[in-house]
Structures are given as C-alpha cells and as structure tokens.
Chains A and B, each alone.
Chain A
Amino acid sequence: MKKGLVTITLFLLVGLLLSPCTWGRVKTIKIGINAPLTGDIPKVGEGTKYAAEMWLEDVKAAGGIEVGGKRYPVELVIEDNESKAESAVKVQTKMITEDEVLVIVGPQSSKQAVPAGGVADNYKTPMISPWSTNPDTTKDRPFVFRGCFLDPFQGPVVANFITKEFGFKKAAVLYDVASDYPKGLAEFFKKAWEDIHGPGSVVAFESFTTKDADFSSQLTNIIKSGAEVLFTPQYYNEVALIVQQAHELGFNKPIVGSDSWGSAETVNLCGKDCYGLFFSTHYAAAGATGATKEFIDRYRGKYGYVPDDVAALTWDSLHIVQKAIESCGKLTGRIGKDRKAVRDAMAKIKDFHGITGKMTFTEEGDPIKCAVIVRISEKGEFEFYKSVCP
C-alpha cells in the first residue's frame, strides 16, 4: 500500500515536471504599485491607486497587453508603503521576490523612491517612479526610471521665475531636513539662487523635522533676515501650517512652492491663506486640452475631484510601462529575462507623448520635459501661469 502511494506520487511529480505548461509560460503580467496609501501623504497614495485602476480598466477593455501577437491579461499588485522608507523597501522586496512582478511603478516621493530604487536595481527589476524628483533615485541604476523632471532642473526653474517675475534679490528657504525631497530641492534652489544673486543672497536657510507643527521660531528668523520671498518645498499638510503661521507672524511677502504643492488636498487644508501663491509643477489642470483634458474629465467624473500631478504622472508612467512591454518582442516566462527585456525597451523610448508632456529618457533614465508654473487662483484652483522648458 505504502509503496503504491510513493509510486503514484512519483508518477504525478514526473508528469508535472514534464508537462510543458508549467515551463516558461506567462499566464498574467503582474505590475507592482508601491504607493503611500497611509502615513504622511495619503492623498498621494490615493491618486496613484485611482490612476492605476483607471489604466487597468482600459487594458482590460482591450483584452490585455499585446506582446508579439499574443494578448496577456494584466494584474496590479498594489501595496502600501505607509510613506516610510523602510516599509517601501520591504514592500519592494516582497513584490519582486514573492509576487514576481514584471515591472514596478512607484514609490512616489523621493524619501521612499531612493532606497526602493536600490532594491529594484539589485534584483534587476525595472522600476519607474512617477513623482520622485531627487537625482539619487535613478543615479547609477540602469533599471530605475522616472516620469518627471529632476530637482537640479526644478530648483533653477523656481529661482529664475522668482527673479524674473518679482525682481527680488533676497530669498529665504524653509524645508524638512529629514526628508530627501525637500532637503535636496532646498539645496538646489539655494545654489541656483546664489548663482544668480551672489553668495549670501539666500538670507535664511531654515529647517525642521518631519511631524513638526510649529514653525514660529524659524519663521521669525526668516522675517528678521529681511527676505523678500520664502521658498518652501514641502508637502500639503506642512504647506498649510507654514503659510498660515507665516501670515500670523506678519509675513506678507510671496511664498513659493514646488511640485509637492500640487496635491488636491493643499487648498482644502490651507484655505484662503494659499490663494495667489505660485509653485512649479508637472502639469496644470485648469485650462488643459486634448488627452490631458480627457484624462482630467474622466478622473473627475469617476472620483469626484480634479486629479493632481501624481495621478497624471502615474497615468503616464503606466503607459510608458505598457509601451515598453509591448515593444519588447516576446515574453519568455522566465522572469529575469523578461525583466531585462522590458528594461531595455523602456530605455529606448523616444518622444513619448504623455499627458504631462513629451518625454525621451536620458542615459540615467530621466526624462527631458518642461515644467509649469501654477498660480493658486482666488477660487482655489490651480491655474496655468507659465511654462518653462530646459
């Protein structure tokens, strides 16, 4: 009896091994989404998820992604990185090793994208961060790409804009020293500003740490320094607090922000205090045309609010991923080989027309594209003000 059982098991095992369908056949294409659904910036996670779900809808309607004349169904693996660097690394590793995803979209902010990019590159898995503007995300990492411009570009854009628009000479910066994105951008801005106006023209360079709610001492220093403008590259919850406190302390000069201000939540939290302020970002929803308008209308119809830049960039990144998969010829089913093929296809993408602009990847995996200066209108809408190209 016992011998019989062993024989049967052996037969089954051999049968399993020999059966061709367990070897090298792709059943579904899995795409990982590493998003901050909870934690410091949940609205960013929400935008990522909604944009990804809308994209998946389209792909499903088309019957999947076509590679080499064959259509494969697509599955999204959406994981929460809690807006923490260590969780982003954990989630990234899990998606690569356990879920065996082909490509990863995300993480969004540099704090998570820089360490998670290291993981992706180590495991030779292509990754595209839609929103991370810190250069370190893609630097010396052939497998890591991004969907947006970089801080070394954004910093000078803001510095030039303020100089031309207002003619100011003394600027102050207030940033979070514990987060890669604000810290990096604050430094690039400082450098660009001092290149234009000479050393010492950034009269106050103040910082705080994540989770701080009171900025009164830093803002008092800034007011004392005689700065004509305040640049603060922070996320929406801090923007609301900084702007309100600055006004309460009697600072009535312009406050300028960066693409992290572009969230749909900024004006909800900040209210009238933010009206009339400027920031640099990836796209402006008000006054958009063509495919961008189509996307905005569809998103608003479905989820009830105007999509922010994160949603638009995620949408573009997923289309880049889709294009790369489609153009890599065929999928072998051996995950390592397929990942390499997708990576190579992605690096070759030229003149991709996304809803946030046209892009071509550089050697480093960074797109060359334009920035937009947005003004928050008296109705609290993000209005297109100016376009700045490299």
Chain B
Amino acid sequence: MVFFLQNLVNALQWGSFYALIALGYSMVYSILMLFNFAHGDIFMVGAYIGFGVASCILALASLGANTLPNWLILVLTILISMFLNSFLGMLVERIGYRPLRDAPRASAAITGLMIGIILETGILALFGARRISFPPLIQTVTYNMGGVFVTNKKIVIVLVSVMFMLALHQFVRRTKYGMAMRAMAFDYVVVPLMGVPLNTIAAMTFGIGSALAAVAGILFGVAYPVLDPYMGIIYGWKAFVAAILGGRGSIMGATLAGFLLGFIEIFVAMIFPSTLRDLIAYSIILLILVFRPHGFFGEPYSARLRL
C-alpha cells in the first residue's frame, strides 16, 4: 500500500509536466489545426529563461541587504518567464507559421521541426554544450508520511500546475477571448468572417501555450535541476502523444491525457521490469487509440471541435 502510494505521488509530479506541456500543444493544435513540433523546444527555452531570470533575481537580491524569501523568487521567476516566453511563442507564430497559414499543412509541420532545431542550436551557441544546473529555489524538505516520502518541491509542483490548468480553463470558458478561441477551434475559416481577428487570436494562443511551457520548464528545473539544449525533443513528442490521446480541442482531455501518460510510465515500471517500461507504456497508449482514435474527448473530424 505504501509502495503504491509512493508511486502515486511520483506519478502526480511526473504527470503534471506532461499535462502542462500537452496543454500548450493541444491549444495550438485545436485552434489552428497545426502540429506545433517546436513546442518541446519552446518548453526547453522556457526552462533556460527561467534559469536566467532566477539567477538575475538571486544576484540582485544578494546585492541588496534584504534577501527575498524563496517563494517570492519562485513566483517572480514564473511570472517574468511566462511573459518572456509568450513573446517567443508569438514570434515563432509571426515568423514561422503565419506566412504559411494557407500553405499545405505539411509545410507548417516541417517549419515547426526547423524552428525546433533553430531554438536548440541557438541555446547551444548561447550557453555552450555544458549542462546547466537550475538554482535551488526551494530548499528540499522531505516529509515522511508513514513510509511515503513527499518533498515540499513535489507539493509546490503539483499545486502550481493544477492552479494554472484551472486558470486556463476559466479563461477559455469565461472570457470574450476564450470564446473567440473556442469559436476559432470550431471553424477557423468562417469565424474570421464574423469579425473575429484571426491573427490576434492565433498569436494569443501561441502566447498562452508558450507561457504554460515556461511554467512547465521552471517546475521541471526545480524538480530535475539539470538543463540541456536537447531536453525538449522527447517532451515535445510526448506532449504530442498526450494531445492526440486527450482528443483534439479538449483542454480537459489534454490535462487528463498528460496525467495518464505520467501514470502509465510510472506504474508500468512498478509492475513490469523497467527495461520494458516505454515499450509497454506506449503499447498501452497505442491500444487506447485503436479503440478511441479521436482520443478521450475528441470527436470525429466532421463533427468539428469543442474547446
């Protein structure tokens, strides 16, 4: 039982990264019908921006006599990095995707791959190939709850991710822009004719998706404090899997699928030999897709989408 609970805690943390990355991926996917293959690398850049911002704040704080509390540094880091990374996302949309909006879908997907390589090699050129260790913003405290070990880091990570997911949900459901996004997801050819500004909404979608990627990047840096320029690739793929699994256009679906992916990966390693972890985990996901080809909350193409 303790063993199971411990894995549950592990899976919650791991799943929240997948969910956060998958959300950004899924938003772009549902609104513009575009596979944003650069999303994993935007996540990676988010982690690097978080590293830069956190280092700056720490340096400034140590200059002044009054040292800021760590939680405030974390909050500031997240907010500033979200802001900066959303600019990166909008830039990617403006330069990479907008000129190709009427081009074949394949061209846009390939552009995404190229943007990914540009971001990777850009960071490589800027920081060099060496690994970067993320500054320890949270001093690890381990709580032993009857044999289940939980750290304060894990609690913060899960709480912050869930908070952002709920905030996004409210934004999409309750605001005018959210409604515009949902409408665009329904039909991005006809809806602009009704006076909804396509370019603004597209840029906003990229901005929000990238801001979420920055949050995921920073939380990743807090939990796994070793950053490298190529770390985004694999998470980009997995976010892609989660977005498909959740069903196109569903925020709930992407969140759920992200968590599910994390849970499957952790629990497969618990039951089977860990050598076979990915083999079994992704076979299970493949099996789910065979029976639900449109994902959990997705609908057949003709029925269009909901967000």
* Residues of A bordering B, CB below 8 Å: 37-40, 42-43, 45-46, 177, 206-209, 211, 213-214, 216-218, 220-221, 224, 236-237, 240-241, 244, 247-250, 265, 268-269, 271
Inter-chain contacts of A216 with B (CB < 8 A): 7, 10, 13-14, 266
Bound-complex Cα distance A39 to B275 (A):
23
The residue from B6, B133, B228 contacting A249, defined by CB atoms under 8 A apart = B6
The residue from B6, B151, B224, B228 contacting A214, defined by CB atoms under 8 A apart = B224
Inter-chain contacts of B223 with A (CB < 8 A): 214
Inter-chain contacts of A271 with B (CB < 8 A): 133, 136
B167 within 8 A of A: no
Inter-chain contacts of B231 with A (CB < 8 A): 211, 213
Bound-complex Cα distance A268 to B164 (A):
32
Inter-chain contacts of A268 with B (CB < 8 A): 133
Residue ID in chain A nearest B267 by CB atoms: A217
Inter-chain contacts of A207 with B (CB < 8 A): 273-275
Cross-chain pairs A/B with CB under 8 angstroms, 10 sampled: A39-B129, A207-B274, A208-B274, A216-B14, A217-B11, A221-B270, A244-B140, A250-B144, A269-B131, A269-B133
The residue from B149, B153, B226, B274 contacting A217, defined by CB atoms under 8 A apart = B274
CB proximity of A237 to chain B, nearest CB, Å: 5
* Residues of B bordering A, CB below 8 Å: 3, 6-7, 10-11, 13-14, 124, 128-131, 133, 136, 140, 142, 144, 149, 151, 153-154, 220, 223-226, 228, 230-231, 234, 265-267, 269-270, 273-275, 277-278
Beta-carbon contact of B131 and A265 below 8 Å: yes
Query: How would you classify the secondary structure of chain B's contact residues: helix, strand, loop or mixed?
Result: helix
CB proximity of B142 to chain A, nearest CB, Å: 6
Q: How many A-B residue pairs have CB under 8 A?
A: 96
Residue ID in chain A nearest B233 by CB atoms: A211
Beta-carbon contact of A240 and B130 below 8 Å: no
Inter-chain contacts of A43 with B (CB < 8 A): 130-131
Take A221-B269, A249-B6, A269-B226 as given contacts and tell me if A208 and B129 are in contact as well, using a CB distance cutoff of 8 Å. no
Bound-complex Cα distance A134 to B280 (A):
29
Inter-chain contacts of B226 with A (CB < 8 A): 213, 237, 240-241, 269
Inter-chain contacts of A220 with B (CB < 8 A): 3, 6-7, 10, 270
Given contact pairs A209-B278, A217-B10, A271-B133, enumerate 17 new A-B contacts (beta carbons under 8 Å): A38-B129, A39-B129, A39-B230, A43-B131, A45-B129, A177-B275, A206-B274, A213-B224, A214-B13, A216-B266, A217-B269, A218-B269, A218-B274, A224-B3, A248-B140, A250-B144, A269-B225
Bound-complex Cα distance A208 to B153 (A):
23
CB proximity of B40 to chain A, nearest CB, Å: 12
Bound-complex Cα distance A38 to B229 (A):
10
